[in-house]
Structure 1
Amino acid sequence: MSRSGRDPNERLRTAKKRTTSSARWLTRQINDPYVKQAKADGYRSRAAYKLIELDEKFDLFKGVTRAVDLGIAPGGWSQVLRLKCPKAKVVGIDLLPTDPIEGVTIFEMDFMADEAPAALEGALEGAPDLVLSDMAANTVGHKQTDHLRTMGLVETAADFAIQYLAPGGTFVAKVFAGGTDTELLGILKRRFTSVKHAKPPASRKGSSEWYVIAKGFKGPVEEKED
């Protein structure tokens, strides 16, 4: 027995059960300063600092009265929203369960479901000034497939933003190495006054994630009469 009262062979057996990737993840979590800071600051995830850093660079929260958090779980981004925009109405959605956050309406449902956009709009009681998407598809280990699946979520989030954002609003979404697909990037550039990509310092260096930041939504397209 060790001085702690635990059998050292038990720890060895437990370690053997871990995959190499999970062991690397655990080591990275233990040594990650952002993980430690998140615990100290009361944030549910280190991802909160990605949003904080993006705001510091792009001034995302100025004048925000309504915001949507797509892929809210575990809730770090909405925690930041509540801190930075305490009077704003915030609505989040995720397939995964998310513990309640004071002042945030949370839907546990698939954002890709037909009824999801209407549910979000109804809870906001008005057009959002800010649409955030930290969504990413579950990976299958095939790089091209994983990229396509995540870009499908980005495109759906962008469609939602373009349909529901208030004029002058902002759309922020997670993308991956290579940035936003050419076709979607073209759409965003036509519909927003500014479109940029950024990798906040809190995003791990080894990660392929980037974020697209589209500001100054030009409003709905007016249909021309024949």
Structure 2
Amino acid sequence: MTAKSKWLDFHTHFGEDGSVNSPFAVVSISVEDVDKARMPNLFTIGLHPWQTDRLDSYRMVVNRLPGLLAQRRCLALGEVGVDRLRGAPLPAQQELLALQLRTAETQHKPVVFHCVRAWSEMLSTLRAARFTQNCALHGFQGSCPVLPGLLDEGWFISVKPRNNGTIAPEVAEIPLQQILIETDAKPVLIADVYRAVAQVKQIPVADLLSTVTENAQRFFGINPAAVGKHA
């Protein structure tokens, strides 16, 4: 599996060509892919559920992940989680998730979750870990049976385009203060994702840009300007 990049752009403005210019884009990297490409300026890192069936999955989580997660440029653990359709058997995925959550809790890092048809397994693992840091759901496209509960618990929801490039109408139900934006490595400009989400939320794009910046500050627990200065 190649690196599954996700862009959370949280301090941004539109350029003259309509693109988004930002030194504060956050890329999601798998711990397996660290040695294969140049590391981005800001990133999240974890063992993706799809890679849990690797023979060296436990070694990567126990031996490699803590040091990578501790880097100043690493803002969160993720994507991690549970996937019923791909990866190791669910008990093994849950065990690996628990190990990663323990590391993130120790280092006070938030977590970006991937979950496919295994909500009860993922949430039971999270609760058993007594995890207290911020949580975000990756790749929201309108299908999430536990969305109301996640919102009540203060989760951030990272919105991405559907396969046809549109934004799910269910995004209208997500409070603005809990939205993050991503492309999930799709061949689209993140500026276009902002515009599409702003249309669904019926607010000016500038307001959405400002709100997502503030949301990301709260989710990552950092000052974006400080990160850009010292990264």
Same fold, TM-score > 0.5, yes or no: no
Indicate the structure whose relative CO is greater, using CA pairs within 8 Å and at least 6 residues apart. Answer: 2
Structure-1-length-normalised TM-score: 0.36
Structure-2-length-normalised TM-score: 0.36
